[in-house]
């Protein structure tokens, strides 16, 4: 098992020092810094730019469109943070630092709760209020959220068809292409488990990472051993289960919100609306973690 001394090795710089330049001197002020205006709350957070991004397209402008825009912009900001945290989590697993990866998981779980709570706010909009500006959305749809597809890919829910859907935007397509060909969070976790001495089938360790994560009897046996003998790794397994459940909870609430708002209508952007969203339910990112529940 990984020892605590490995995680706190004196040869490794402290986490908060990693990005510090080698020639940094806090007592030396550059010419540019001395001439720059003093930083304020607004300038640091780019408040002027941020508040200029809510631009309703309905004419005349419908009151509730502003809420709709803000909710979805905030979703995208949270998606960015989830990717930021999960990427760090994968790095910690790759470096055999599970304690730090658990910290990142707890943070992501809190964010998922926030994402679910935002649906409560969106559901204050009645079907009539949404319909007042829906036609102005044209082909735009949450189905087109590239960052959410990145999250799915990172968790192992990979579907090559999404690469084609985002081919018109180079940045989005490049990001998805990178995620598609990279090992998932589950791959990183199972490889970490293997390095701790648990027997993982070679065909799983060498699997094609562009394929969605499936079931593995060998991985399930290792997970059963972990649950019976390894409290620390069991805790990490439970956090991953929480993550999977949290994503499914958000999907379910999203389906119900869409059905509550537009019923059985087609979605914008060409999707089938609630019908499509229902098809995404009960698709676990980490199926083996759920399969072993009946083994105890």
Q: For 197-221, how does the pLDDT look when each residue is reduced to its tens digit (9 = 90+)?
A: 999 999 999 999 999 999 999 999 9
Could you tell me what percent of the chain has a pLDDT over 70?
Answer: 84
Centroid of chain to Cα 41: 28
Question: For residue 200, is it within any domain?
Answer: yes
Residue identified by tokens 């919100």 is 257
Q: How confident is the model at residue 268 (pLDDT cuts 50, 70, 90)?
A: low
Residue identified by tokens 């990142």 is 104
Q: What pLDDT digit, counting tens, does each position of 275-287 carry?
A: 666 676 778 999 9
Could you tell me what percent of the chain has a pLDDT over 90?
Answer: 73
Q: How confident is the model at residue 184 (pLDDT cuts 50, 70, 90)?
A: very high
What is the rounded average pLDDT of the residues 177-203? 98
Q: Is pLDDT of 6 > 50? A: no
Q: How confident is the model at residue 265 (pLDDT cuts 50, 70, 90)?
A: confident
Q: Residue 210's domain is classified under what CATH number?
A: 1.20.58.480
Q: Is pLDDT of 243 > 70? A: yes
Question: For residue 79, is it within any domain?
Answer: yes
Total domains in the fold of the chain: 1
Question: For residue 106, is it within any domain?
Answer: yes
Q: Is 286 exposed, middle or buried (0-12, 13-18, 19+ CB in 10 A)?
A: buried
Higher pLDDT, 197 or 29: 197
Q: How confident is the model at residue 114 (pLDDT cuts 50, 70, 90)?
A: very high
Q: Is pLDDT of 19 > 70? A: no
Who contacts 220 (Cβ-Cβ below 8 Å, separation ≥6)? Answer: 288, 291, 292, 295
Question: For residue 260, is it within any domain?
Answer: yes
Q: Is pLDDT of 34 > 70? A: no
Question: For residue 47, is it within any domain?
Answer: no
Q: Is pLDDT of 242 > 60? A: yes
Q: What is the pLDDT of residue 139?
A: 81
Question: For residue 32, is it within any domain?
Answer: no
Residue ranges making up the domain that contains 187: 62-295
Q: How confident is the model at residue 17 (pLDDT cuts 50, 70, 90)?
A: very low
Question: For residue 124, is it within any domain?
Answer: yes
Q: Is pLDDT of 240 > 70? A: yes
What is the rounded average pLDDT of the residues 159-167? 92
Question: For residue 209, is it within any domain?
Answer: yes
pTM: 0.84
Q: How confident is the model at residue 272 (pLDDT cuts 50, 70, 90)?
A: low
Q: Is pLDDT of 16 > 70? A: no
- Which of 152, 76, 85 lies closest to 115 in space, CA to CA? 76
Q: Which two tokens stand for residue 109?
A: 């779980």
Peptide bond into 60 cis (omega under 30): yes
């Amino acid at each position: 098992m990984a020892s605590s001394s490995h995680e706190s090795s004196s040869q490794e710089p402290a986490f908060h020092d990693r990005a510090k330049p080698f020639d940094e001197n806090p007592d030396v002020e550059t010419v540019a810094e001395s001439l720059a205006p003093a930083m304020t709350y607004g300038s640091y957070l780019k408040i002027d730019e941020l508040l200029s991004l809510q631009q309703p397209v309905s004419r005349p402008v419908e009151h509730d469109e502003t809420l709709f825009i803000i909710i979805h912009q905030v979703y995208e900001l949270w998606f960015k943070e989830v990717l930021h945290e999960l990427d760090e989590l994968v790095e910690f697993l790759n470096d055999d630092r599970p304690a730090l990866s658990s910290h990142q998981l707890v943070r992501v779980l809190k964010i998922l709760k926030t994402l679910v709570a935002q649906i409560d706010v969106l559901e204050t909009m009645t079907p009539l209020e949404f319909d007042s500006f829906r036609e102005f959305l044209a082909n735009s749809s949450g189905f087109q959220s590239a960052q959410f597809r990145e999250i799915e890919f990172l968790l192992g829910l990979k579907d090559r068809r999404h690469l084609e859907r985002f081919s018109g935007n180079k940045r989005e397509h490049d990001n998805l292409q990178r995620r598609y060909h990279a090992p998932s969070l589950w791959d990183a976790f199972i490889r970490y488990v293997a390095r701790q001495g648990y027997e993982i089938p070679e065909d799983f360790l060498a699997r094609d990472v562009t394929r969605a994560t499936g079931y593995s009897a060998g991985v399930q046996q290792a997970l059963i051993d972990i649950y019976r003998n390894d409290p620390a790794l069991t805790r990490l397994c439970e956090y991953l289960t929480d993550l999977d459940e949290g994503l499914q909870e958000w999907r379910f609430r999203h389906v119900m919100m869409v059905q509550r708002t537009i019923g059985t209508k087609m979605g914008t952007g060409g999707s089938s609306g609630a019908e499509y969203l229902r098809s995404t339910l009960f698709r676990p990112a980490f199926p083996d973690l759920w399969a072993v529940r009946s083994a105890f």
